[in-house]
Amino acid sequence: MIGKWLAFGLAVAGIAACANVPAGDRATDAALKAFVAPSDAAGVFIYCDGWMGLVHRTNVEIDGAPFGQNASYTYLHAELPPGRHSITVRAENTDTLEFDAEAGKNYFVQQQVKLGWITPRTELHLVPESDGREGVGGARLAAPTYRTDDAAGAKAVGLTVGILGALLSIVFSAIGHVPAFPP
């Protein structure tokens, strides 16, 4: 029984390690949270304020180009020229949000991460500034990294299957020790 709990603990620790994204510079994080938009560009904050991101990182693209990764309670920031832009996030599904950006304004894109079949699913929403400031305020700046291979997705699937196996072993062990009711 101790071995099963140890295996479960190691699987949970492995998931936590997989979801870590490198943190951005603290001084930059503090400066961005002043929410001062540049006069000649639009400030864009893409944030994930849900716990499902603990399980899986998601790749973020801006206008079709790799930009960074988000995980639980992290955000990315970009300065974009005025005009039409698209933000795409890839998880179990792919979601794209298109919007028109104006110079001198901040835009807040909330990345909701939800339970999927094997790995989390994602949805993007353009939210009002008050909601966006609150979401970004509770998150930390993520360094702009991007996963080009699918190794992290394969690890997430393997860990998910491992955790389910460990949980089923614990449940079946517990059931096996439950006394039967008399006939």
What does the pLDDT read at residue 113?
Answer: 83
What does the pLDDT read at residue 149?
Answer: 52
Q: 46 in a domain, yes or no?
A: yes
Q: 169 in a domain, yes or no?
A: no
pTM metric for this prediction: 0.68
Least confident among 2-6, 79-83, 170-174:
2-6
Label residue 165 by pLDDT band (50, 70, 90): low
What does the pLDDT read at residue 56?
Answer: 66
Structural domain of 34: 2-147
Q: 61 in a domain, yes or no?
A: yes
> Does 130 score more than 60 pLDDT?
yes
CA 61 to chain centre: 14
Q: 168 in a domain, yes or no?
A: no
Q: 153 in a domain, yes or no?
A: no
Q: 64 in a domain, yes or no?
A: yes
Contact 123, 48 (CB under 8 A): no
Least confident among 89-93, 105-109, 124-128:
89-93
For residue 73, what is the domain's CATH number?
A: 2.60.40.1120
Higher pLDDT, 131 or 56: 131
> Does 114 score more than 50 pLDDT?
yes
> Does 36 score more than 50 pLDDT?
yes
Number of structural domains, the chain? Answer: 1
Q: 18 in a domain, yes or no?
A: yes
